[in-house]
Amino acid sequence: MAKHNTHRAVGRATTPVSNARVAARGMGGAAVLGTVLVGSAFVGGTAQAAPAPAPAAPVTAPAVAPAAPEAAAPTVVLNTTEKLRWGSRGGNVADLQSGLNQNGANIAVDGKFGPRTHAAVKDFQRSNGLLVDGVVGPQTRGALNGGVSVPSSGTSAPAKKSSSASTSSIVERARSVVGTGYTWGGSSPSAGFDCSGLVTYAYQGSGLNLNGRTASQITNGGRTISQSQAQPGDIVSWPGHIGIYAGNGQVIDASGSKYRVTERGIWGNPTFVTYR
């Protein structure tokens, strides 16, 4: 009987992998020992992992300087050359009231130039170093418009004089024609005067513009005040008759009963009207 040698040398194991080794060589050097190692490479006989690609550097957007803000164009509050005062009405007064509210006032925008609008105008004039007369002329309008002027549609308005200078010139002009004859519809020293013609003549060149030509129009176009508030140059009005207040209870008027321009004491209970 043949005997088989079942004893193997210690430490020597025989593994049938010779064919696998041959196959591995044919696969570009990838080692397969029981398990196929994909992506391995032999370098100097040692298997090493392929190097990972370097991370891409972060892309930083170029810094852009912020654009400088554009200066806001001045806003024209009053786009008119109309002189606004107590008693004025309409869209220009509403624009005025809106402009005053933008400057700290708190009044209704109703298009009516009444006592609250008058007081707000005076407050605005006082805070801006303007003549405080409650009348919105070129200087007050320019301040409300931030210095932007409004082109005149025709002849330029006369320069605004101070209240005291205006009223003084009115009295002096009326007093200069005392004794001139009375003429219905007259408004000059050569033609004579009626009552409203004398008042219109006295106000010429004063910087204060009357509303209307007749006695009732002039009276209704101004602001009614008490006698204690009246100043020389204001208007004294009776039904159908007007004159210039000269101060100290005196009036200069073209009298139909005396047939001339006179300076005399005030009689009855007249109404006092101002255009200041």
**Domain contains 190:** yes
- Within 10 A of 198 (CB to CB), how many other CB atoms are there? 28
Active site residue 195: yes
**Domain contains 32:** no
Give the contacts of 101 (CB within 8 A, at least 6 positions apart). 107, 109
Indicate whether 184 and 227 sit together in one domain: yes
In the prediction, which pLDDT does 148 show?
62
CATH number at residue 200: 3.90.1720.10
Indicate whether 135 and 194 sit together in one domain: no
- Within 10 A of 61 (CB to CB), how many other CB atoms are there? 5
Residue with more model confidence, 18 or 59: 59
Active site residue 241: yes
**Domain contains 232:** yes
Indicate whether 208 and 242 sit together in one domain: yes
Please pick, among 118, 194, 195, 234, the residue that the annotation labels catalytic.
195
Active site residue 123: no
How many folded domains does the chain comprise? 2
In the prediction, which pLDDT does 85 show?
79
Q: State both tokens at 141.
A: 């309008």
Domain of 235?
163-274
In the prediction, which pLDDT does 81 show?
80
Rounded CA-CA distance 91/80 in Å is 10
CA torsion through residues 144, 224, 200, 113, sign: positive
The per-residue pLDDT for range 41-77, each reduced to its tens digit, is 444 444 455 555 666 656 555 555 565 555 455 566 7
CATH number at residue 115: 1.10.101.10
